[in-house]
């Protein structure tokens, strides 16, 4: 009987040693809130230009219009956006112009701007070989389905310009106007 | 026989009484709220701190210790998530009985958390003797494409003897 008590005390002592090294765990709930901003905007990042030397034949040249869309609304539903485009006719200001059908979008590419883990736009607009209209006519050339196009998105618009062989040598200018609207 | 039993009791109890005592607790109250990020189009990072307490006292408290963390994913409305929490720093302050300041070993910040425990602060063998509060800095990354809402995660903190 006395020996039995000794064993009991020994077990208690071993147990006390074990508790001294046991891991203790606690749970903490972490909350982090993302507040939607109000920004839905488009901006131009460059002033494109090109040079052409007349050679007696009709020619096509291209330029790149770089745009940037910011969608900081954080909308999971009911979001998305679309871009529309219009232009003025190429003119030298002295009565000489390119045809109103001279400009055509050949392709549009998108990418996340540096420092922005964006959600690239899910586009449903056919934008290869898309005519660039003359103001006031506009055309939609890119959109983002709801839940896409979030963050800061760089957009490259490749535009081809058809220059007739009978063009008068001069400096011609055209203004592209891009607008953004909510919803795809 | 009774004398023999008393002697045995003394021998058995002596090691238990001499053992080091380790306790761990979280000082910061739950829930912890990270600073809010207002979307701007660019990625953002915000930090917050969580304080824990380690008390490693008693004779023989030379094994060192560690604080470990694991975390679930910050989630909103089941389907929207934020990148994993990261621990970017850890510091200590003495509360009482500090005889040997903790010397961390093998810790390199930032430490990206997952559901597997990772050591976010420790005291090498022979250090960290006393009662200390550990302040760890946590970072929440808000991607530009985050959906607006309040995201929640469960951060599990543990303490144990031994630096690794």
Q: Which domains does chain A have, with CATH numbers?
A: 40-182 (2.60.40)
**A37 contacts in B (CB within 8 Å)?**
38-41
Peptide bond into B31 cis (omega under 30): yes
Cα B134–Cα B88–Cα B115 angle in degrees, nearest 5: 85
Q: Which of A25, A36, A151 sits opposite B144 (nearest CB)?
A: A151
- B11 assigned to some structural domain: no
pLDDT digits (tens, 9 = 90+) for B113-148: 999 999 999 999 999 999 999 999 999 999 999 999
Q: Which of B31, B50, B147 sits opposite A76 (nearest CB)?
A: B147
- B37 assigned to some structural domain: no
| A37 close to B (CB below 8 A) | yes
**According to the model, what pLDDT value does residue B119 have?**
98
Q: Mean pLDDT in chain A?
A: 91
- B38 assigned to some structural domain: no
CA distance linking residue B160 with residue A155, whole number of Å: 53
| A21 close to B (CB below 8 A) | yes
- Which pairing describes strands B32-33 and A24-35: parallel, antiparallel, or unpaired? parallel
Paired residues of A33 in beta bridges: B150
**According to the model, what pLDDT value does residue A15 have?**
37
**Is A29's CB within 8 Å of B30's CB?**
yes
Structural domain that includes position B51: 16-30+43-156
**Is B150's CB within 8 Å of A31's CB?**
yes
**According to the model, what pLDDT value does residue A23 have?**
66
- B142 assigned to some structural domain: yes
- B75 assigned to some structural domain: yes
What is the complex's ipTM, to 2 decimals? Answer: 0.89
CA–CA distances in Å: residue A95 to residues A63, A111, A133, A183:
23, 39, 20, 40
**A71 contacts in B (CB within 8 Å)?**
41
| A146 close to B (CB below 8 A) | no
Q: What's the gap in Å between the CA of A172 and the closest CA on chain B?
A: 36
**According to the model, what pLDDT value does residue B19 have?**
85
Domains in chain B: how many in total? 1
Pure H helices in chain A:
2-20
pLDDT digits (tens, 9 = 90+) for B6-55: 434 333 334 444 689 999 999 999 999 999 999 999 999 999 999 999 99
- B84 assigned to some structural domain: yes
Percent of chain B at pLDDT > 70 equals 89
Q: What's the gap in Å between the CA of B67 and the closest CA on chain A?
A: 9
- B143 assigned to some structural domain: yes
**Is B36's CB within 8 Å of A33's CB?**
yes
pLDDT tier at A25, thresholds 50, 70, 90 = confident
Q: What's the gap in Å between the CA of A140 and the closest CA on chain B?
A: 23
CA distance linking residue A36 with residue A73, whole number of Å: 5
- Nearest residue on chain B to A154, alpha-carbon basis: B41
* pLDDT surpassing 60 at residue B103: yes
């Amino acid at each position: 009987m006395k020996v039995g008590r000794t064993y009991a005390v020994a077990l208690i002592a071993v147990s006390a040693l074990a508790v001294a090294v046991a891991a203790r765990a606690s749970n903490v709930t972490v909350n982090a809130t993302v507040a939607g901003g109000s920004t839905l905007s488009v901006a131009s990042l460059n002033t494109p230009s090109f040079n052409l030397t007349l050679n007696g034949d009709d020619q096509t040249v291209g330029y790149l219009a770089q745009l940037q869309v910011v969608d900081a609304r954080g909308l999971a539903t009911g979001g998305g956006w679309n871009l529309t485009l219009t232009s003025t006719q190429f003119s030298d200001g002295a009565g000489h112009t390119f045809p109103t059908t001279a400009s055509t979008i050949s392709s549009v590419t998108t990418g996340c701007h540096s420092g922005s883990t964006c959600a690239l736009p899910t586009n449903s607009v056919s934008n290869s070989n898309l005519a660039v209209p003359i103001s006031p006519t506009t055309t939609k050339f890119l959109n983002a389905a709801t839940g896409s196009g979030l963050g800061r998105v760089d957009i490259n618009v490749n535009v081809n310009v058809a220059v007739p062989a009978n063009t008068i040598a001069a400096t011609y200018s055209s203004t592209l106007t891009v607008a953004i609207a909510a919803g795809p | 026989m009774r004398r023999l039993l008393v002697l045995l009791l003394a021998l058995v109890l002596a090691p238990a009484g001499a053992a080091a005592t380790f306790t761990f607790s979280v000082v910061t109250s739950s829930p912890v709220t990270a600073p809010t990020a207002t979307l701007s189009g660019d990625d953002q990072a915000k930090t917050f701190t969580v304080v824990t307490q380690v008390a490693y006292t008693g004779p023989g408290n030379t094994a060192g210790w560690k604080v470990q963390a694991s975390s679930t994913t910050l989630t909103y409305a089941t389907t929207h998530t934020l990148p994993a929490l990261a621990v970017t720093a850890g510091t200590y302050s003495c509360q009482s009985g500090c005889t040997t300041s903790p010397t961390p070993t093998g810790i390199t910040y930032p430490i990206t958390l997952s559901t597997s425990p990772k050591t976010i602060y420790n005291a090498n063998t022979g250090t960290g003797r006393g009662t200390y509060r550990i302040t760890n800095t946590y970072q929440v990354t808000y991607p530009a494409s985050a959906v607006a809402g309040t995201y929640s995660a469960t951060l599990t903190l543990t303490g144990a003897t031994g630096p690794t």
